[in-house]
Amino acid sequence: MDYQKIASETDRKIVRYDIAQHNWPEYWLRIARDKYPEIESLETVHKILTPSQISALGKHCQAHCGSNEFANRVDSYFSDIVNTYIGFKEWVIQRYFTIRIVIPNQSKQGRLLQFHQGIWVGNGLGLRTIWTPFTKVYDTNSMYIASSEDSIRITQDTYKNKWDYDTIQKECGAYSHPIKLDPGETLLFQQQHLHGNFNNETDITRWSMDGRILPKGGHYHRKLPGGYFRFLGERESTITLDTAKNWVTYAGWNSKFSNPIPLPMQRSIINQYCDKFKIQINDYQFENEYCDWFPSLEKFITEKGVDGIVICSIYCLPDDKVRRLVLLNKAVESNVELHFANELTSVKSKEDILNIEKIFEYVNINTNPNETLGYNI
């Protein structure tokens, strides 16, 4: 199957789901009330809360998307949608969903979502988007979306004419139409579809969430499997470590992924991980550039006194599978833990190595979507 082409089942397709089983309006009202108990309904939060409180509410709800409770619910929900309407057999799910609270006259608060498409924000053509509102959406409180044909034509004209921001928004808006949905309905679309918001001129606040899936064999572009995506059932709470051990960090530039990432950026990602899990860093190590057989990493793995190594990403490991497996197995044999900050995963056992390689099964040629679509940039 060519996952990079527009498929009828995800070409702006509106589908229904069992709202009794997946009652998102009720669920998110409860989460919202955890922050502000005075909220009466999702549609009227703008009448009760100040703009700053609504921003705080958005952050609260967004943070909840990282909880195990939400992950359990969304795994079940997406499984039903994919199995019923899309039909992918093997796929991974977006790690952190986006919650959108679109109040009336949101443009006055600088909250207007510009017209864009998935390929303009790093999404590969293999991704599928599932857009689920929790409130009734219609007219200007809804998302506007263009057909695949108009999206392709406007994209070509954008590149050809080098349109400015206002022209892009005007052209996209002229050929886009609002999606009309009730709770219990969701929209399936792909990364070529241009979409965005107009100023909400209705009297209700729109709530929605959007998340993406990637089938095995689908192009992901910048949204790497394992980092941006996770497996169903994968949870952050499974990460355990001994902070009393001797921990070092490791940065390098000898894989296709890590080569363009500056040292400060790699270390920033590593430091965030160490702060989150309270790891005391005893040393900052690195790989010599152009040494694509990773001699430094091998030394740190086998050297006595090092108990654990925190690395920016699994994609900082060798591109060559044979060499990668040699290093991973040496780490297990040496009882040295390897932690990968971007993917929130680790290697302590042979089973963990299999999990890492399971992620790499989703890695493919992954061409630039503009090249695949034949756009002349």
One DSSP character per residue, 191-250 reads TT--EE-----SSS-EEEEEEEEEETT---BTS-BTTTEE-TT--GGG----TTS-EEEE
The CATH number given to whatever domain includes residue 51 is 2.60.120.620
The distance from CA 19 to its chain's CA centroid, rounded to whole angstroms, is: 25
Cα dist from 135 to 31, 71, 102, whole Å: 15, 21, 11
Query: Over the chain, what is the mean pLDDT?
Result: 95
What average pLDDT does this structure show over 9-19?
A: 97
Element at 251 (helix H, strand E): strand 247-251
Nearest Cα to 159, choosing from 307, 333, 373, 317? 373
Residues 326 and 186 placed together within one structural domain of the fold: no
**In this predicted model, what pLDDT tens digit does every residue of 98-115 receive, in sequence order?**
999 999 999 887 788 999
Q: Is 156 left (phi over 0), alpha (psi -120 to 50) or beta?
A: alpha
376 in any annotated domain: no
Strands (E), 112-191: 128-133, 144-146, 176-178, 185-190
Q: Tell me the torsion sign for CA atoms 308, 310, 311, 313.
A: positive
Total domains present in the chain: 2
Average pLDDT over residues 178-189: 98
CA distances in angstroms from 75 to 3, 57, 95, 211, listed in the order given:
21, 23, 10, 11
Task: Identify whether residues 180 and 286 lie together within a single domain.
Answer: no
CB–CB of 108/174 below 8 Å? no
CB 160 within 8 A of CB 376: yes
At 68 the pLDDT is 94
Q: Which pair of tokens denotes residue 145?
A: 């979306």
Contact 68, 237 (CB under 8 A): yes
Tally of residues, the chain: 377
Lowest mean pLDDT among 95-99, 115-119, 268-272, 302-306: 302-306
Q: How far apart are CA 232 and CA 92, in angstroms?
A: 7
User: Does 188 lie in the same domain as 280?
Assistant: no
Separation CA 107–CA 109 (nearest Å): 5
Q: Is the pLDDT of residue 170 over 80?
A: yes
Q: Which two tokens stand for residue 167?
A: 């022209």
The domain spanning residue 254 has which CATH number?
3.40.50.1390
Q: How confident is the model at residue 236 (pLDDT cuts 50, 70, 90)?
A: confident
**Given a cut of 90, is residue 303 above it in pLDDT?**
no
Q: Please, what's the b/e burial string for 338-377 (b: 16 or more CB within 10 A of its CB; e: otherwise)?
A: bbbbbbbbbbbeeebbebbeebeebbeebeebbebbebee
Residues 201 and 247 in one domain: no
Return the pLDDT at 59: 97
Same domain, 207 and 73: yes
Q: Examine residue 144 and state whether it is found in any structural domain, yes or no.
A: yes
Closest CA to 340 of 275, 250, 264, 262: 250
Residue 344 falls inside a structural domain: yes
Q: 63 and 176 share a domain?
A: yes
How much is the pLDDT for 237? Answer: 65
Q: What per-residue confidence (pLDDT) applies to 14?
A: 98
Overall average pLDDT of the 160-174 stretch: 97
pTM: 0.94
Domain that holds residue 303: 237-360
175, 190, 225 - which closes a domain = 225
pLDDT tens figures, 325-375: 999 999 999 999 999 999 999 999 999 999 999 999 999 877 889 888 888
Which pair of structure tokens corresponds to residue 240? Answer: 């355990």
Query: Which pLDDT belongs to residue 285?
Result: 95
What is the C-alpha to C-alpha distance for residues 282 and 308, in angstroms, rounded to an integer? Answer: 10
Note whether 162 and 273 are same-domain residues.
no
Q: What pLDDT, on a 0 to 100 scale, did the predictor assign at position 1? A: 67
In 3D space, the residue among 338, 283, 288, 279 whose CA is nearest the CA of residue 314 turns out to be: 338
**Same domain? 68 vs 182:** yes
31-86 tens-digit pLDDT: 999 999 999 999 999 999 999 999 999 999 999 999 999 999 999 999 999 999 99
Give the DSSP H/E element, type plus range, for residue 173: helix 165-174
Question: Do 159 and 113 belong together in one domain?
Answer: yes
**What pLDDT sits at residue 154?**
97
Q: Tell me: do 198 and 261 sit in the same domain.
A: no
Q: Which residue has the tokens 């009882």?
A: 335
- Is 354 a domain residue? yes
279 & 330 share domain: yes
- Measured distance CA(36)–CA(224) in Å, rounded: 36
**156 and 97 in a common domain:** yes
Share of the chain above pLDDT 90, in %: 89
Token pair recorded at residue 370? 């503009």
